[in-house]
Amino acid sequence: MAVINSFRDLIVFQKAYKLAMEIFEITRDFPKEEKYSLTDQILRSSRSITVNIAESWAKRIYPKHFVSKLTDSLGEEYETENWLDYSRDCKYINIETHKELMEGYDEVRKMLISMINNPNKFCK
């Protein structure tokens, strides 16, 4: 097993970060009228997944705090999925892009749930 010295070493962080950057690129083409609604919301929630993972890492000395921040991250993951559905249904992204992003977030969600259910593997 690889040594994890930083939250950046976590595969779940790396996957979520990559997905957030993909969403950043995709939303550049969203209509300007969505700037303060859908675009801002999906950017915020997708980025918040990684931010909460980073915060959880800082709190891993306390397993309950660690789990709490991971639960926040999981909530942001679900929110991002919902915004992706709106993006597809409003025809801002195509079905294939939606499917690829949802598959990526499915992996992230499963990893977060595993971490939440097994905090002692990560906590000091």
The rounded Cα 97 to chain-centroid distance in angstroms is 16
Q: Tell me the average pLDDT across 4-30.
A: 96
Residue 27: CB atoms within 10 Å: 20
Long-range interactions of 26-29: CB distance < 8 A, separation 24+: 26/87, 26/92, 26/93, 26/97, 29/92
Q: What percent of the chain has pLDDT over 70?
A: 98
pLDDT score recorded for residue 81: 98
pLDDT tens digits for 19-77?
A: 999 999 999 999 999 988 999 999 999 999 999 999 999 999 999 999 999 999 999 99
Helix runs in the chain, H state only: 11-27, 40-58, 63-89, 95-117
pLDDT score recorded for residue 2: 65
pLDDT tens digits for 32-46?
A: 999 889 999 999 999
Q: Which domains does the chain have, with CATH numbers?
A: 7-121 (1.20.1440.60)
